[in-house]
Amino acid sequence: MTTQNLVLDQAAAPRPARPRKKGRSTPYLLIVPACGILILALGYPLVWQFITSMQKFGLSQQFGQPPEFVWFDNYVTLFTDPYMWTVVARSLAFCLVTAGVTMVIGTLMALLMDAVHSAVRITLQISMLLAWAMPVVAAMTVWNWLIDWRRGVLNSVLTGLGLDFQNHNWLATPLSFFFIAMVIVVWMSVPFVAFSIYAGLTQVSTEVLEAAQLDGAGLSQRLRFIIVPIIRPVLAIILLLQVIWDLRVFTQIRLLQDAGSIASETNLLGTYIYQLGVGSSDFAMASAVSIFVLVLTVALSWFYVRSMLKEDDS
């Protein structure tokens, strides 16, 4: 791609002189296996998907007819389909709300870890690590059990508090479905956010904070003028990662759908692709949506990749 060449050209000019220069073919031999598997498992599918997204894949193609090349017709069909826009809007809303809530709670947790006694902090860290370590599907079975409408502990507790939640089905309406999905995703994501921000907080020097305190800076001022500017790069990267991850959320949604809700009312981009491709074998449309998701992700990832490249230069 052009961007790659661009970076390559820039890098070619002031190349850092390394002592080792012999063995000119060695580095290429070293990256052959990695490149090979990446081309096979990602490169080829990517190209196939791009071509397929511009083909017509109807019923006759499922019986072996060669597909017809229709350029961008699928994309036109896709983006004039109101359902696609519903799914896109739903995905964006879910992603932004979930990422926002995750960031807020994660930051609060990090500040909490920083403020409390070390015994409390370690307890908090252990329980967060447990939540973080849970395999996603195992976590989903547990959450399905927690919110089970017949015997789930959530309904029991809420009913015990005097609210009428006997046999309440949390997955019945889309709004409540997405609320539960958000709670689960937030529960899973907060540990990573909290630990990363906490790591950032430990880099804020106590001398600077003390000096500010001596000069009369209150907690909010210290937070605003010292702590936030120092951890801002961490916050930015983590927010970006959360947005990217929440935009492509699939497993949680799919497994909540499995537990009994109407898929068409709760589809996000990932599950929509699954339904198109695996469910109704419409590979062209599925590919078109996939390409859309890929473009979106790569565009969003660019900032993250750039900051990692900076690290590579150092």
Where in 281-310 is the site for another protein (CB under 8 A)? 283, 286-287, 290-291, 293-294, 297-298, 301, 304-305, 307-310
Among 66, 82, 162, 216, the residue binding another protein under the rule CB under 8 A is 216
Q: Which residues, numbered 220-249, are part of the site for another protein (CB under 8 A)? A: 233-234, 236-238, 241, 244, 248
Among 151, 161, 164, 220, the residue binding another protein under the rule CB under 8 A is 151
**Stretch near another protein under the rule CB under 8 A, chosen from 59-67, 92-100, 172-180, 269-277:** 269-277
3-class secondary structure per residue, the chain: CHHHHHHHHHHHCCCCCCCCCCCCCHHHHHHHHHHHHHHHHHHHHHHHHHHHCCEECCHHHHCCCCCEECCCHHHHHHHCCHHHHHHHHHHHHHHHHHHHHHHHHHHHHHHHHHHCCHHHHHHHHHHHHHHHHCCHHHHHHHHHHHCCCCCCHHHHHHHHCCCCCCCCCCCCCHHHHHHHHHHHHHHHHHHHHHHHHHHHHCCCCHHHHHHHHHCCCCHHHHHHHHHHHHHHHHHHHHHHHHHHHHHCCCHHHHHHHHCCCCHHHHCCHHHHHHHHHHHCCCHHHHHHHHHHHHHHHHHHHHHHHHHHHHHHHC
161 lines the binding site for another protein (CB under 8 A): no
Q: Which residues, numbered 59-88, are part of the site for another protein (CB under 8 A)? A: none
Among 96, 213, 222, 263, the residue binding another protein under the rule CB under 8 A is 213
Among 185, 190, 201, 227, the residue binding another protein under the rule CB under 8 A is 190
Among 14, 16, 64, 82, the residue binding another protein under the rule CB under 8 A is 16
133 lines the binding site for another protein (CB under 8 A): yes
